Amino acid sequence: MQHSPTAAHQVPAYVLGGYESGMAVVGSLGRAGVPVVAVLTSPREITRHSRYVGGSVTVPDPADHTTDYVEALLGLADSHGPGVVVPTTDESLEAVAAHHATLSARHTVACPPDAVAQTFLDKRITSEIADRVGVEAPITAAPASYDELAALAPRLRFPCLVKPAESYRYNRAFGVKMKRVHTPDELRTAWGEAHELGIGTMVQELIPGPETGGVNYNVYVVDGEPLVEMTSRKLRLNPRDFGYPSAVVSGHVPEVVEPGRAIVAAMGIEGFANVEFKQDERDGRYRLMEVNGRPNMSGRLAVRCGVDFPLMTYRHLVHGERPVAAPWREGVYWVNEFKDTRILVDRWRDGRLPWLRGVRPYFAPRVHGTFDARDPRPFLARLRDRVTIEDAPATAGSAAR
Domains of the chain, CATH where assigned:
9-111 (3.40.50.720), 139-205 (3.30.1490.20), 211-370 (3.30.470.20)
Q: Is 291 left (phi over 0), alpha (psi -120 to 50) or beta?
A: beta
Give 196-210 pLDDT, tens digit per residue: 999 999 999 999 999
User: Which of the four pLDDT bands, split at 50, 70 and 90, describes residue 395?
Assistant: very low
User: Which of the four pLDDT bands, split at 50, 70 and 90, describes residue 389?
Assistant: low
Give 208-248 pLDDT, tens digit per residue: 999 999 999 999 999 999 999 999 999 999 888 778 999 99
Give 306-363 pLDDT, tens digit per residue: 999 999 999 999 999 999 999 999 999 999 999 999 999 988 888 878 888 899 999 9
- What is the average pLDDT across 12-16? 98
What number of residues does the chain have?
A: 401
User: Which of the four pLDDT bands, split at 50, 70 and 90, describes residue 391?
Assistant: very low
Look at 36-40, 355-359, 376-380, 394-398 and tell me which has the smallest mean pLDDT: 394-398
Give 83-139 pLDDT, tens digit per residue: 999 999 999 999 999 999 999 999 999 999 999 999 999 999 999 999 999 999 999
Round to whole Å and give the CA distance between 103 and 112: 12
Look at 89-98, 135-144, 153-162, 380-389 and tell me which has the smallest mean pLDDT: 380-389
Residue 388 has pLDDT above 80, yes or no: no
Look at 17-31, 104-118, 151-165 and tell me which has the smallest mean pLDDT: 151-165
Round to whole Å and give the CA distance between 224 and 33: 29
- What is the average pLDDT across 151-171? 90
pLDDT at res. 238:
86
Give 162-194 pLDDT, tens digit per residue: 999 888 889 889 988 899 999 999 999 999 999
Residue 334 near residue 370 (C-beta atoms within 8 A): no
User: Which of the four pLDDT bands, split at 50, 70 and 90, describes residue 3?
Assistant: very low
Its pTM stands at 0.91
Residue 387 has pLDDT above 90, yes or no: no
SS3 per residue for 154-173 = HHCCCCEEEEECCHHHHHHH
Of 201, 278, 193, 282, nearest to 240 (Cα)? 278
pLDDT at res. 399:
31
Of 244, 224, 218, 245, nearest to 234 (Cα)? 245
Average pLDDT score, the chain: 92
pLDDT at res. 370:
97
